[in-house]
């Protein structure tokens, strides 16, 4: 069978990413130009700055992606682009660019849901095949997803309030850890002990849902109380205590889902899956329970174009999900995992 090359374009947050992926699994190039440094002094992503940075970087990212892959646009079978969810202005840069390329070079255009992209990251450089369970943990979403086939995904449970990555970022702010918060909290936690009591939100219940707003509030209250009383607090200990509470519930529910569905494979996806402690917890548990674990390399857990190309490949092969010049960006996708865009 002829090789299928997909160009994947991602611009939902602060990474301008363009990638060429062969047959949905083999990464030929994976260019990421991040505007992260421009957001540090504001303590979080500033949408307008992110949009402008995308507009500046996207052509370079595209040219480099083709060059590194050693292909020309003529070799590309389809253009896949994140149309949502994310920052609207940021998304629009990628969507407009993808529309222009698809139109000018007569390529099929495939609108990709960012969250499905995080799930599809599991296929990159791996032999992962459905059925399996994905523990999806990003800055905007937290969910346990049942992947029945390459195209059929079912959400078993998700967060009722904040996403786990969002909680990491907010806790980082309270602890004075600069943006991006997640990796900073992980670093601080390495020096600390999980000795501060934390609420165990929805840990023991029967659902696959999560809740992080109470945990975040507990950290805020603890830090304020200790500061006001003059006692102070240990940043590493609070980071370790928060991280342990935040991650253990994820691991418990993900592994329970594998067991209860009768599946034998778990994959991880989303920025928080780059967390070394989460990866270690999953490795230990998988070994103990005889479950096969797929963890995309850390660079593929956070936002990248390759995961969009991987999902685009599946949509190209198995669905008629195609965009045209009317394709628009969507900040939110209410039912966040859909077969198709509309």
Closer of 247 and 291 to Zn ion (Cβ): 247
Minimum distance of ligand KG4 from residue 118's CB (angstroms): 6
* Strand 153-158 relative to strand 142-147, pairing: antiparallel
Closer of 122 and 270 to ligand KG4 (Cβ): 270
Which residues would be at the binding site for Zn ion (CB under 5 A)?
Answer: 138, 303
What region does 284 belong to: left with phi over 0, alpha with psi -120 to 50, or beta?
A: alpha
- Spatial separation of the C-alpha atoms in residues 293 and 200, rounded to whole Å: 25
Bridge partners, 153 (sequence order)? 147
| Interface residue with ligand KG4, options 89, 140, 157, 323 (CB under 6 A) | 140
Does the protein bind ligand KG4 through residue 10 (CB under 6 A)?
no
Minimum distance of Zn ion from residue 199's CB (angstroms): 26
| Interface residue with ligand KG4, options 82, 113, 275, 341 (CB under 6 A) | 275
Q: Which stretch binds ligand KG4 (CB under 6 A): 64-72, 98-106, 133-141, 326-334?
A: 133-141
Minimum distance of ligand KG4 from residue 301's CB (angstroms): 7
Q: Give me the phi and psi of 50, to 5 degrees please.
A: -60, -45
Closer of 30 and 66 to ligand KG4 (Cβ): 30
Does the protein bind ligand KG4 through residue 305 (CB under 6 A)?
no
What tokens does 233 get?
Answer: 């607090």
Q: Please give the size of the binding site for ligand KG4, defined by CB under 6 A.
A: 21
Minimum distance of ligand KG4 from residue 112's CB (angstroms): 13
List the single partner that 111 binds among ligand KG4, Zn ion, none, CB under 5 to 8 Å by kind: none
- Spatial separation of the C-alpha atoms in residues 97 and 83, rounded to whole Å: 11
DSSP 8-state symbol, 44: S
CA dihedral 194, 195, 200, 206 (to 10 degrees): 70
Does the protein bind ligand KG4 through residue 271 (CB under 6 A)?
yes
Does the protein bind ligand KG4 through residue 165 (CB under 6 A)?
yes
Does the protein bind ligand KG4 through residue 274 (CB under 6 A)?
yes
Which positions from 171 through 190 interact with ligand KG4, judged by CB under 6 A? 180-183, 186
Does the protein bind ligand KG4 through residue 138 (CB under 6 A)?
yes
Nearest to 181 by CA among 51, 274, 283, 299: 274
- Spatial separation of the C-alpha atoms in residues 303 and 118, rounded to whole Å: 8
| Interface residue with ligand KG4, options 211, 303, 310, 330 (CB under 6 A) | 303
Q: CB-based contacts of 260: which residues, under 8 Å, 6+ apart? A: none
> Which residue pairs, CB below 8 angstroms and at least 24 apart, start in 31-38?
31/61, 31/64, 31/65, 31/68, 31/305, 32/61, 32/299, 32/303, 32/304, 32/305, 33/57, 33/60, 33/61, 36/179, 36/180
What 3-state DSSP class applies to 110? strand
List the single partner that 312 binds among Zn ion, ligand KG4, none, CB under 5 to 8 Å by kind: none
Closer of 138 and 321 to ligand KG4 (Cβ): 138
Which positions from 30 through 59 interact with ligand KG4, judged by CB under 6 A? none
**DSSP string covering 131-177, please?**
SEEEEEE-SS-EEEEEE-SSS-EEEEEEBSSS-HHHHHHHHHHHTTP
Does the protein bind ligand KG4 through residue 108 (CB under 6 A)?
no
Does the protein bind ligand KG4 through residue 323 (CB under 6 A)?
no
* Binding residues for ligand KG4 (CB under 6 A): 13, 118, 138-140, 165-166, 168-169, 180-183, 186, 270-272, 274-275, 302-303
């Amino acid at each position: 069978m002829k090789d299928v090359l997909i160009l994947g374009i991602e611009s939902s947050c602060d990474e301008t990413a363009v990638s060429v992926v062969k047959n949905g699994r083999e990464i030929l190039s994976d260019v990421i130009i991040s505007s992260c440094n421009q957001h540090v002094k504001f303590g979080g992503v500033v949408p307008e700055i992110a949009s402008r940075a995308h507009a500046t970087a996207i052509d370079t990212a595209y040219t480099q992606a083709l060059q590194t892959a050693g292909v020309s646009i003529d070799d590309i079978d389809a253009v896949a682009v994140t149309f949502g969810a994310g920052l609207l202005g940021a998304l629009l840069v990628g969507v407009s660019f993808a529309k222009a390329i698809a139109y000018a070079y007569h390529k099929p255009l495939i609108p990709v849901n960012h969250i499905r992209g995080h799930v599809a990251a599991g296929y990159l450089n791996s032999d992962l095949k459905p059925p399996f369970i994905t523990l999806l943990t990003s800055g905007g979403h937290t969910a346990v997803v049942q992947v029945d086939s390459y195209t059929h995904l079912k959400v078993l449970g998700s967060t009722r309030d904040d996403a786990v990555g969002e909680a990491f970022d907010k806790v980082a702010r309270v602890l004075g850890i600069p943006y991006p918060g997640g990796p900073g909290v992980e670093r601080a936690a390495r020096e600390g002990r999980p000795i501060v009591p934390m609420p165990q939100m929805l840990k023991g219940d029967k659902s696959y849902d999560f809740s992080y707003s109470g945990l975040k509030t507990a950290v805020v209250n603890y830090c304020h109380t200790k500061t006001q009383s003059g006692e102070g607090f240990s940043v590493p200990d609070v980071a370790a205590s928060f991280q342990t509470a935040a991650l253990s519930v994820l691991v418990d529910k993900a592994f329970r889902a594998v067991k209860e569905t009768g599946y034998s494979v778990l994959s991880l996806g989303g920025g928080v899956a780059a967390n070394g402690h989460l990866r270690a917890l999953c490795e230990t548990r998988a070994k103990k329970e005889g479950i096969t674990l797929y963890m995309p390399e850390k660079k593929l857990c956070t936002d990248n174009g390759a995961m969009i190309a991987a999902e685009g490949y599946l949509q190209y092969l198995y669905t008629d999900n195609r965009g045209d010049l009317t394709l628009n960006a969507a900040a939110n996708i209410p039912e966040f995992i859909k077969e198709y865009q509309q």
